[in-house]
Chain A
Amino acid sequence: MSYGRMHRKEDARFIRGRGTYTDDVRLPGMLYGAILRSPHAHARIVSVDASAAEAHPKVRAVITGQTLAGLGLAWMPTLSQDIQAVLATDKVRFQGQEVAFVVAEDAYSARDALELIDVEYEPLDAVVDARTALDQDAPVIRDDLEGRTDNHLFDWEAGDRARTDAIFERAEVKVAQDMLYPRVHPAPLETCGAVADFDKVTGKLTVWCPTQAPHAHRTLYAMVAGLPEHKIRVISPDIGGGFGGKVGIYPGYVCAIVGSIVTGRPVKWMEDRSENLMSTSFARDYHMRGEIAATRDGKIQAIRVKVLADHGAFNGTAQPTKFPAGFFHVFSGSYDVEAAHCEVTGVYTNKAPGGVAYACSFRVTEAVYLVERMVDVLAAELGTDPAELRLRNLLRPEQFPYHSPTGWEYDSGDYPRALRLALDMAGYDKLRAEQADRRARGELMGIGISFFTEAVGAGPRKHMDILGLGMADGAELRVHPTGKAVLRVSCQSQGQGHETTFAQIVGHELGIPADDVEVVHGDTDQTPFGLGTYGSRSTPVSGAAAAIVSRKVRDRARIVAAAMLEASPDDLEWSDGTWSVVGDPASGKSLAEIALAAHSNLELPDGVEGHLDAVTVYNPPNLTYPFGAYICVVDVDPGTGQVRVRRFVAVDDCGVRINPMIVEGQIHGGLADGVGMALMQVMAFDEDGNHLGASFMDYLLPTSMECPSWELGETVTPSPAHPIGAKGVGESATVGSPAAVVNAVVDALAPYGVRHADMPLTPANVWRVVNGDPFRTDLAIS
């Protein structure tokens, strides 16, 4: 009864300006921190003199790498079995790296005092281009690691190399293309920050910070700092957007904690936008070479990929432990291929660490971009329409559950139906006719298609963990005597509307209004353990936990109802939100009636505890695999290279939709993100490692003017792996849309013989591509 469009419970506070974001937290006696950062991409630290800063009348503490080294906290583990400097001691390894932390009476004074710290650097050559990171003479970035003599991080492969190579050897048609998925940043409008409050008397540490994974933070603080875990409380209040960038622990969080321990007062640290863009992680930065082997009539037989992955100065990539390239090996995508193989080589460079899952479900966006670009390259080679080529190769409904050549089991799908719907909505044939007319007039119009399969909801414990923590989520459900319920979950919303959606799940399962369900999240003292919200895992994992714990409550209610009805539980049935005697619907007892009885003096069978509360831990049996078909129409100005997205049709299938309004909102946002990445967003560097996108003046994000009015369609193929048939959707559009936009622009430029152009397709880049002189979008080195 509770699925469907429903206004969000969260909105009441947000529209009044009464959200509580981390920077809104104010505690008595609170001090303010600021971080001194490296101006160099690579330099040896000769000396740090903080004496003048310490003498500033409003400064209460200055913490340097040496201070932290004395506490054993100068380095911290990353999400990828590497270590990262909290405050640099030996060298700085990227521009913007944290060097010292000042704690002062107010934020302005803390900033003033940064100017008083004197750091002497001995600059070193920087490794900026990932393609030269493994050169013999490349400077060694990680000389802090024992025995390290190069910048090589890992080699990893997936799929069947021999079989793939054999198919390529005898293939009728082979195409290959180099492409870059540039370094980008999720850039949520709220930057990162923390308020740390260490109570010396009780030994309790409370940390407010906008984390997507509060429980993982608590456990890591306990493991790293040696604080007892029951004395750590992480509160993740309202979050102003996350998009993967707020999963990890950043040096500033540790500095705020140390600042509070040192001063005995609460310490707030909020980064500014430049700090956010320069130091607080990044995403993508994959240099890829894709190849497809096919028959002359357009049957795709095999896909082969080589990736050079730029991981920055410390390997902080967010991904389950087994998979150093995340889920990139889902790159065979939505197609029925005989074999596939990928090799990924990770390297260190003098850039910020990170590799966050920026709405990409652990690098599925790189995979989808690769394969969808390659299919268009093949279409160009064969002279086949890209829609037709896709329809010829898409997996068929009867192939599900489908075992992919790189080891995935896709749960469910009807791909041709989704693509046909998108083609119908777009009026594809008419668009092609219009394009022909325009081309005849010298106008550049492009139509781009992308079909994606996502892999979300990490994940099954035996395959997936982060730093040894399995990816199962707990849920607790309390039902009060009057039938109102409180659900406690481990994941944390950054705008996804969990307080509404999860209440709808419980309401649906228990036959009560969603308004009667309060969802508690974002506070480790109040919620059960779980790994957090990223990789579109909230609904697939915590949402499933909410359904399962509701069913446990329903089962408990059945026993109580049986006692109320003086019947056997076996003789009851659940329908219309009541337990009733089979064949006697009038006997039905609602959850509210049962809840009151469960707390009353009603005599219950031996061994039955009473009350209805329940707990569960949900270990997903598989990921969920949402999919979709996207079509983008662009116009390109041949004189300036300016791209205008005229239309964007998006058909998404995320299984059962709990609240379609929220689902559509998530898709809208992801589509805008895709347009941004395809056309505007990039963090480039110059040859010295200077960051060239360190403010919103240089790192461009799409506004209302670059975004068209999105045209959405849907199909519904429930997931058999999920208790309510839902699949994740938060990242689908970000994963699927960049390829559609780029394919459209390349299609528009086909009259110039263009088969590929790297993102972002800025006017300058498009103009250069048209003139046969493309440049590297990631480097300002000619």
Chain B
Amino acid sequence: MRITVSVNGQPYTRDVEPRLLLVHFLRDELGLTGTHWGCDTSNCGVCTVRLDGVPVKSCTVLAVMADGHEVTTVEGLERDGELDVVQKGFVECHGLQCGFCTPGMLLTARWLLERDPDPDEGTIREAISGQLCRCTGYENIVRSIRWAAEAQAQAQPQPQSQAQAHAPTDAEARQ
């Protein structure tokens, strides 16, 4: 099947098998190996990417389902040579060790901060609860996301109104 998927703002048109998973499309067809694969069963979440803004597990999405949609991967977080605040937070608070779950965690963190610019610990833990990390015991991931929330608030005097404008609706989130 011929599909066109926008990835990190760039459209890609490819002929793919209908059974091709989105994670393999990103990694093997586009060479975007920052998105990892870990379990096949949607449990580990290392393959998490954003599909039209919503975090999805790309091992459980067919590439053809992304036809005409927008995908954001970890490679799309850095803008014009400037790291996203969540990337800075993970460095600052040692939110990663082996780095394998990190891309998925970063994308969920970015999504969370758009929905809730000031999440408390419990909200952060719930947001990342569909993603496993075997190295950090989650402690420093939680701190990294808190750090990012605070850094974002400092950088943007009116973070809440801006964030709400960008936040996906609940209906979108349920897709």
Contacts and interface: CB of A to CB of B under 8 A. Distances in A.
A696 interface: yes
B96 A14 contact: yes
Interface stretch (B37-45, B60-68, B155-163, B165-173): B37-45
A662 interface: yes
Contacts of B98: 188-190, 238-241, 494-495
Interface in B57-96: 73-75, 77-78, 83, 87, 90-92, 94, 96
A426 to B, nearest CB: 17
Interface in A732-755: none
A642 interface: no
A21 B35 CA distance: 11
A189 B17 contact: no
Contacts of A18: 34
A16 B34 contact: yes
Interface in A661-677: 661-662, 664-673
Contacts of B94: 7-8, 661-662, 664-665
Contact of B33 (A17, A108, A664, A673): A17
Contacts of A190: 36, 38, 98, 100
Contact of A273 (B39, B90, B103, B121): B39
Interface residues of A, number: 58
B interface, over-half SS:
loop
A665 B35 contact: no
Contacts of A26: 31
Contacts of B128: 703-704
Contacts of A187: 134
Contacts, number: 174
Nearest to B130: A703
Given A108-B17, A709-B121, A10 B78 contact: no
A433 interface: no
A298 to B, nearest CB: 34
Contacts of B99: 10-11, 13-15, 19, 238, 240, 495
A539 to B, nearest CB: 15
Given A15-B102, A710-B139, A241 B41 contact: no
Contacts of B43: 695-697
A666 B132 CA distance: 16
B126 A705 contact: yes
A707 B141 CA distance: 12
Given A10-B99, A704-B128, A665 B136 contact: yes
A274 interface: yes
Contact of A703 (B19, B46, B97, B132): B132
Interface of A: 7-8, 10-21, 23-24, 26, 107-108, 187-191, 238-241, 243, 272-274, 494-497, 661-662, 664-673, 695-697, 701, 703-705, 707, 709-710
Given A696-B41, A704-B142, 12 more contacts: A15-B90, A19-B34, A21-B33, A187-B134, A189-B36, A240-B100, A272-B40, A273-B44, A668-B137, A669-B133, A669-B134, A705-B126
15 contacts: A8-B91, A15-B90, A15-B91, A16-B34, A21-B100, A189-B39, A189-B132, A191-B38, A240-B46, A272-B40, A274-B40, A665-B97, A665-B140, A672-B134, A703-B128
